[in-house]
Amino acid sequence: MRSELYIDGKWRPSSDGRTFDVVNPATEEVIHRIAAATAEDVDVAVKAARRAFDRDGWPKLSGAQRARYLRAIAEGIRARQAEIARLEVIDNGKPLPEADWDVADAAGCFDFYAGLAEQLDNSPEEPIALPDARFTSKAVKEPIGVAGAIIPWNYPLLMAAWKVAPALAAGCTVVLKPAEVTSLTALELAAIADDVGLPAGVLNVVTGAGAVAGQAIIDHRQVDKLAFTGSGPVGSKIMAAAARDIKRISLELGGKSPFVVFDDADIDEAVEWIMFGIFWNQGQVCSATSRVLVQEGNYDRLLSRLVEETKKIRIGNGLEDGVLLGPLVSKRQHQQVVTAIEAAKAAGATVACGGKRPKGFETGYYLEPTVLTDVPLESDAWREEIFGPVVSIRSFSTEEEAIELANDSRFGLAAAVMSRDDRRAERVAAAFRAGIVWINCSQPTFTEAPWGGYKESGIGRELGRWGLDNYLETKQITRFATGEKWGWYIK
Ligand code: NAP
Ligand code: MG
């Protein structure tokens, strides 16, 4: 396990020597200590990224040359897949098969953006048809510059990949700050980048607190672009900080996503996807479908199947075979989710199952998977993100009512619909006010497809070619192409 900052191609302690604890959420043990970056450390990292961008030529390499580094990083991740997945489990708490999946996806993300980096060479210029034949014009894409990437703790390595891979592919250089509670695998990513010979300063990883290291990144004058995934309040701070010097931003801020199940849906299939939509990763998923709307003819049978299956979920340390629900990421997150459940009860909700620490788990941030019914429409439980294994379920009668309930939210990240009637599913998909829509499933995510939200769920799209555009500027180059005189002042 690495314990130092990775700045300008070197490992170093923080400038004041301070560290923070790494806690295994399954055991509550302190398993490691990592350097806590100061604003001074961030300044050194930003200046290294600046130099790598402005002078050392990272953006001047061809896309194919940058792609070679990205593919080597992908290979490096795959070569250490099992070991990195274990680190993710002892840091984040998620079950090992999920961590394995994340690590493979992170490697795939670097490969995908290697492909897009190569394509940048093949179609660099877009000719523009002008109405005046004396001029020709073309548009070219160029990297924005130094990107500050700030990521959450729910998919530590994968969120790093979603930002670092497209940024490097585009020709940007990066200062990455992982979440304090899950910093181990971001440092491994730095070690892999170092092993493959990524030039110094192209990727810098500064571990530490959001209020110190994160704040120093968003306030830094020499950072051109901020890429953030996390909570709404921090997203607002980032947008405000970016406003001062017009930094480019992309924000992915979570939601309260609906899952609409019609009467013609198969009950067991619906229950499977409802569970996957809210219990996967302990429900700590920005796109989790945490508001389930079930058409009244199916409601009673579906609810009882959901409760029956939810009670069977095997809880435990993510390293144990067969475990499907690990601990929440931190004591703080556990407390927040428990508090949200208590508030839901106080507002009139009924706990159909779960809602408390599971028996036999006195240590570790464990919580039973929870199904809430009778959740009042105006309560926080229905409206605010809980970010834990807690689903609220209610019935509806008509398609119009379902759409109205689904869209009645300040968020718009994801939405799901289940029906055997394809025309109805397409109609509802079109009516959802959300950036990610699933039909007959919930959560499957592909590097190729755009990811991001409507409304307060964020700005911009990650992944796919949209994710590359996040790190590119567009420049027009217009030429006066004839030998003629312009003749405005000088006839
Ligand atoms: P958060 O506070 O928004 O943290 C996200 C990242 O921002 C972390 O790296 C954090 O650092 C950093 N940060 C915090 N304050 C900052 C500041 N002033 N300037 C720059 N960076 C700053 O989210 P959280 O506390 O981890 O989780 C709170 C809630 O956010 C969750 O309950 C959930 O609702 C939501 N969330 C959403 C997503 C998503 O995928 N959209 C992911 C995680 C959480 P440190 O944490 O190291 O201090
Ligand atoms: Mg941890």
Residue 217: predicted pLDDT: 99
Residue 127: predicted pLDDT: 83
Sign of CA dihedral 236, 238, 244, 247: negative
The two three-digit tokens of residue 72, written as one number: 């080597």
- The answer on pLDDT for 123 being more than 80 is no
Backbone φ and ψ of 35, nearest 5°: -60, 135
User: Percent of the chain, pLDDT > 90?
Assistant: 97
pLDDT tens per residue, range 263-298: 999 999 999 999 999 999 999 999 999 999 999 999
Nearest residue (by CA) to ligand 1, atom 46, is 179
Cβ partners under 8 Å of residue 174, min gap 6: 49, 146, 147, 148, 149, 163, 164, 167, 168, 202, 203, 204
Residue 125: predicted pLDDT: 73
- The answer on pLDDT for 327 being more than 90 is yes
In this prediction, residue 122 has a pLDDT band, given cuts at 50, 70 and 90, of confident
Residue 482: predicted pLDDT: 83
Residue 449 has a CB neighbour count (10 Å cut-off) of: 13
DSSP 254-285: ----EEEE-TTS-HHHHHHHHHHHHHGGGG--
- The answer on pLDDT for 124 being more than 70 is no
Query: In sequence order, what are the beta bridge partners of 245?
Result: none
Nearest residue (by CA) to ligand 1, atom 20, is 214
Furthest-apart CA atoms within the chain: distance in Å: 92
Half-sphere exposure of 489 (CA within 13 A, CB side): 0
The two three-digit tokens of residue 158, written as one number: 């994968």
Ligand 1 close to Cβ of residue 163 (< 6 A): no
Ligand 1 close to Cβ of residue 152 (< 6 A): yes
**Average predicted confidence (pLDDT) for the chain:** 97
What letter would DSSP give residue 17?
-
pLDDT tens per residue, range 349-406: 999 999 999 999 999 999 999 999 999 999 999 999 999 999 999 999 999 999 999 9
Asked about 252 being catalytic, the answer comes back as yes
Amino acid at site 83: E
Asked about 441 being catalytic, the answer comes back as no
Backbone φ and ψ of 7, nearest 5°: -130, 130
CA of 197 to the centre of ligand 2 (A): 28
List domains and CATH numbers for the chain.
Answer: 5-253+457-477 (3.40.605.10), 258-439 (3.40.309.10)
Residue 384: predicted pLDDT: 98
Task: Quickly list H helices, 55-80.
Answer: 63-79
pLDDT tens per residue, range 27-72: 999 999 999 999 999 999 999 999 999 999 999 999 999 999 999 9
Residue 483: predicted pLDDT: 83
pLDDT tens per residue, range 306-320: 999 999 999 999 999
Ligand 1 close to Cβ of residue 230 (< 6 A): yes
